Amino acid sequence: MSKAPPAPPSLQELRKEIDAIDEQVHRLLMARGDIIDRLIQVKQTQEVGSAFRPAREASMMRSLVERHRGILPLDTIESIWRVIISTFTYVQAPFSVHADVSVGEPAMRDSARFHFGFVVPYVGHFSAQAAVEAVAKSKGDLALVSAVSSRTPWWSALEAEGAPKIIARLPFLERADHPAALPVFVISRVADDAMVTEVQMWSVRVSGWNADIARALAPLAEIVAVPDTAFDGAALLVSDAGTGFEKIKAALIQAGASVRSSALVGSHATRYTVPPNGSAKP
């Protein structure tokens, strides 16, 4: 006679399992805090921007995406880890998030809270330039500005040596229905060895800018352009994701533009694109 299948666990038993896991998660977070406390003692310093580690954060997020499975939405996991990273960064060296709300205050606030939580202070500004200026005057703050449009060439303030730089683009996981879908650049001061340089960001001023030149460059790089009527041209923020800046510059010239100046103003990690089926692709 075959044995009867084991009875399924009771609701009470399942809740006990959940409670045990919750306790483990809490204890692990406290243990992480203890390690951060020891890390602060080892560093014995709060150098400007030293707590931000864009390359390490990108590596952590990639590992997160690659191992994730099950019914818990990837957006939830992304937000939890972003808040954990940001909060412990704040514990090491307190900082504020300066956000350009001219692109839409609700969307920008959603982005800031999704990626940095509620512990990190949030400061709204009415222009990207004002947000960047606030960071430049700070000891270790960061700014969030639109990554797809601008009324002013705020990135020109990043050209000087020692100025803040673009260190990330968020959200790291991109999809149309992302709960914090507004594409933003993160700007701050970060140690050179902490930067991730997969996508280089260039500030370029050109003469002779027009729609035909923009279309010619579209296959090579993402570009944010602000018209410069004084020189019949534009100030460009160019994202080089591996094409090579010299090739982009040559394409500008071949299309009829004159390159007046160029400067590297930061870099960020390659993002993941999440299609409707939920599997992330770099």
pLDDT higher than 70, residue 8: yes
The model's pLDDT over 102-119, given as tens digits with 9 standing for 90+, comes to: 988 999 999 999 999 999
The model's pLDDT over 203-257, given as tens digits with 9 standing for 90+, comes to: 999 998 888 999 999 999 999 999 887 667 899 999 999 999 999 999 999 999 9
User: Which H helix or E strand runs over 98?
Assistant: strand 97-100
Q: Which residue in 252, 206, 254 sits closest to 232, CA to CA?
A: 206
pLDDT higher than 80, residue 49: no
pLDDT higher than 70, residue 46: no
Q: What pLDDT sits at residue 272?
A: 79
The structure tokens 């010619």 sit at 216
The mean per-residue pLDDT over the stretch 186-210 comes to 90
Q: Which residue in 35, 46, 44, 38 sits closest to 189, CA to CA?
A: 46
The mean per-residue pLDDT over the stretch 162-166 comes to 93
The mean per-residue pLDDT over the stretch 181-195 comes to 90
Q: Which residue in 266, 234, 262 sits closest to 248, CA to CA?
A: 262
- Taking the C-alpha atoms of residue 57 and residue 7, their distance in angstroms, rounded to an integer, is 44
pLDDT higher than 70, residue 191: yes
Q: What pLDDT sits at residue 98?
A: 97
Task: Report the DSSP pairing between strands 122-125 and 272-273.
Answer: unpaired
- Taking the C-alpha atoms of residue 217 and residue 206, their distance in angstroms, rounded to an integer, is 13
The mean per-residue pLDDT over the stretch 45-62 comes to 73
Which pLDDT band, with edges at 50, 70 and 90, does 48 fall under?
very low
The model's pLDDT over 265-282, given as tens digits with 9 standing for 90+, comes to: 999 999 877 655 555 555
- Taking the C-alpha atoms of residue 54 and residue 112, their distance in angstroms, rounded to an integer, is 16
Name the region of 232 (left: φ>0; alpha: ψ -120 to 50; beta: rest): left
More reliable by pLDDT, 155 or 194: 155
Determine the residue type at 47: E
pLDDT higher than 50, residue 180: yes
Q: Which domains does the chain have, with CATH numbers?
A: 51-194 (3.40.190), 200-267 (3.30.70.1340)
Q: Which residue in 278, 70, 89, 281 sits closest to 172, CA to CA?
A: 281
Task: Tell me what percent of the residues of the chain surpass a pLDDT of 90.
Answer: 55
